[in-house]
């Protein structure tokens, strides 16, 4: 596999030739699996890894792709902004239409290649849309100076507070 200077493998590994399945006809299937290190799926989606089995089944409409893939996505903790590697399991089940019609979202052209990159990109974006904590006891950032409290204490006075939270402070004092 060709690895680029930025450390990512190109998304060419996500293009599968399924000509043999198309020729076999409906009812045939093929198992394949991925174990790919850092991969650039699209310009806006990089994965730390992509692992898992896929089943490609020939139907009369095309090729049905099914599987559970583990993807590693580097996210930011929503409290302290530290980088955190998160393992997401994405369920893939999509019909690649053959022959491809104009209105088909996923299809197979005459070259008999299934391009999984757009599907994995969409699923990875959905999986990445939830906030993540670097650890359950994350202390977050100081609201005054921005110091990450997980790495050390800051020099801000404890009595300094955001005036917008004055009413909440009154509730705490009661």
Q: Give the integer Cα–Cα distance in Å for 122 and 116.
A: 10
One digit per residue, pLDDT tens: the chain, 174 residues? 344 456 788 889 999 999 999 999 899 999 999 999 999 999 999 999 999 999 999 999 999 999 999 999 999 999 999 999 999 999 999 999 998 888 889 999 999 999 999 999 999 999 988 889 999 999 999 887 889 999 988 887 555 667 787 888 788 887
Number of neighbours of residue 83 by Cβ within 10 angstroms = 9
- For residue 119, give every residue at least 6 positions away whose Cβ sits within 8 Å of its Cβ, in sequence order, or none: 65, 92, 94, 106
Domain parsing of the chain, residue ranges: 11-127, 139-174
pLDDT value, residue 1:
39
pLDDT value, residue 142:
87
- For residue 128, give every residue at least 6 positions away whose Cβ sits within 8 Å of its Cβ, in sequence order, or none: 73, 75, 88
pLDDT value, residue 172:
80
pLDDT value, residue 2:
41
Beta bridge partners of 72: 49, 87
């Amino acid at each position: 596999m060709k690895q680029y200077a930025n450390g990512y493998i190109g998304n060419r590994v996500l293009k599968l030739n399924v000509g043999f399945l198309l020729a076999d006809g409906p009812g045939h299937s093929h198992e394949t699996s991925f174990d790919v290190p850092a991969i650039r799926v699209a310009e806006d989606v990089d994965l730390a890894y992509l692992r898992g089995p896929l089943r490609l089944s020939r139907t009369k409409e095309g090729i049905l792709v099914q599987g559970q893939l583990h993807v590693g996505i580097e996210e930011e903790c929503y409290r302290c902004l530290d980088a955190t590697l998160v393992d997401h399991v994405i369920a893939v089940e999509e019909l690649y239409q053959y022959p491809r019609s104009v209105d088909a979202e996923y299809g197979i052209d005459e070259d008999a290649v299934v391009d999984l990159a757009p599907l994995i990109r969409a699923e990875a974006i959905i999986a990445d849309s939830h906030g993540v904590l670097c650890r359950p006891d994350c202390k977050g950032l100081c609201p005054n100076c921005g110091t990450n409290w997980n790495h050390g204490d800051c020099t801000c006075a404890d009595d300094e507070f955001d005036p917008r939270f004055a009413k909440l402070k009154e509730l705490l004092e009661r």
